Amino acid sequence: MDEKSYYSRLFIALVMVLLFGVIVLQYVCPTSDCQLLHLASLSSRFGSRAPGDRADGASTGDPYSSEDGALARFVPRFNFTSKDLNRVVHFNIKEDDVIVFLHIQKTGGTTFGRHLVRNIQLERPCECHAGQKKCTCYRPGKRDTWLFSRFSTGWSCGLHADWTELTNCVPSFMSNRESQEMRKTPRRNYYYITILRDPVWRYLSEWRHVQRGATWKASKHMCDGRLPTLNELPSCYTGDDWSGCTLEEFMACPYNLASNRQTRMLADLSLVGCYNLSIMSESQRWAVLVESAKRNLRNMAFFGLTEYQRKTQYLFEHTFRLSFIAPFTQLNGTRATSVEVEPETQRRIRELNQWDVELYEYARDLFLQRFQYARQQERREARQRRLQERRKLRAKVRPWWGTTGKNVFNPTKAPQQTEQYSVMSFPEKQVDTEKKLEREPEGQVEDNWLEEDDSETMLDYLENVEQWR
């Protein structure tokens, strides 16, 4: 056998092994987000590093600063209180606390929902089996779930239940699942979370989904104890579904719930008579809804944005003191982004979703301010740790120089300066540095350590944070 034939067979064998591996991966983990979790886990296990990371595990720069194509400098528009920005909850997974995921259509909620059941480091991880849509997420030592979501309890309050439905349904649902002994325990704490998305791309994504045959007929739209009538909530199509509809047809239907869906699903619908449109004018109705949605969003334990995956992961971990196993991945190549939409059509979509646009701008501002506030807290805590370490170091140095803290050797003439530090200069410099840190105001965090690892976004926040308090 000649050398050319040998290499040809070797190449064919390698190709067959590669194809076999791809087939096995598709069989074991068919979804793209599941594959990304495996790839991220493998890359971290074998020492792969993301851009900007050093071999020793330290980062050469802020991993969040250049994400998602965000603006170099973020200028806040809204004045939030420190209570609005400081979102750290005392979630106790071992007791009776429950995370409730409000899943809005086409916001990336399916991927985030899988993160919740498959990607969190837990003492007792969720049990997920191939071929089953739901996972079992029990607390340590109990047969009681800590997560209310599509992938843990299913659509128990209706398909894509909104805020109005969930807040009325979840407590009674969880109470019915409890044993008689558990019902005697104190009242549960429910922590509501959700994911939002840019209104134009979310709308286009829902159109493509409906075009492929999605209907969401199983949605209940329960409000004030009753379902909406057909006159209150007419259908946009007459057949079994609306598959094949054009974008123009999708936009033309005045009853299409895709328009301003995020505002409607986050608002308290009972404030406007649910789906009865005759109670008040359309402008009054939406003004009430958007303010209610902002208020509910602000009071939620957590919300993330599809366009900011790494920051979403960071804020969730910061809020609940839970850690994900594999990092979130920013996927910008969706079906919606592949649609070529004329600028005029995009303008019309924004007009159809004007309340979602207003809500999203508010949410984005609050989201980025919360992120910056959390990062500022981290730097303050790190500064305090450095100060404590220096105090410990001074306590160790003092016995060497004497119990009084004064130097035994006190020459009348200053020692000659050299390139190296003398034995006298080190403790004096240490004490001076510590006194300087102690004299700094509590709110001031723009020290050398901050400058080493920061972004322009954070600096802009620090320049304006005092006026928001």
Q: Check residue 61 and give its pLDDT.
A: 55
Give 266-325 pLDDT, tens digit per residue.
999 999 999 999 999 999 999 999 999 999 999 999 999 999 999 999 999 999 999 999
Q: Check residue 466 and give its pLDDT.
A: 37
Give CA–CA dist 231/213, Å, rounded: 23
The structure's pTM equals 0.72
Q: Check residue 306 and give its pLDDT.
A: 97
Q: Check residue 401 and give its pLDDT.
A: 60
Beta bridge partners of 120: 324
- Return the percentage of the chain with pLDDT > 90, whole number: 60
Q: Which of 103, 115, 160, 221 is catalytic?
A: 160
Angle between helices 354-401 and 282-299 (to 10 degrees): 20
Checking if the pLDDT of 464 tops 80, the result is no
What one-character-per-residue DSSP string does 302-337 give? EEEETT-HHHHHHHHHHHH---BSS--------TTT
Give 166-222 pLDDT, tens digit per residue.
999 999 999 887 655 455 556 789 999 999 999 999 999 999 999 999 999 999 999
- Which amino acid is present at 373? Y
User: Which DSSP state fits 46?
Assistant: T
Checking if the pLDDT of 43 tops 60, the result is no
Q: Check residue 5 and give its pLDDT.
A: 75
SS3 39: helix
pLDDT band at 47 (very low <50, low <70, confident <90, very high): very low
Q: What are phi and psi of 249, to 5 degrees?
A: -65, -40
Q: Which region among 69-78, 165-174, 329-338 has the lowest average model confidence (pLDDT)? A: 329-338
Give CA–CA dist 391/375, Å, rounded: 25
Could you give the dihedral angle defined by the CA atoms of residues 253, 258, 264 and 269, in that order, rounded to the nearest 10 degrees?
50
Query: Which element (helix H / strand E) includes 101?
Result: strand 98-102
Q: Which region among 305-319, 340-354, 410-424 has the lowest average model confidence (pLDDT)? A: 410-424
Checking if the pLDDT of 450 tops 50, the result is no
Known catalytic membership, residue 160:
yes
SS3 428: helix
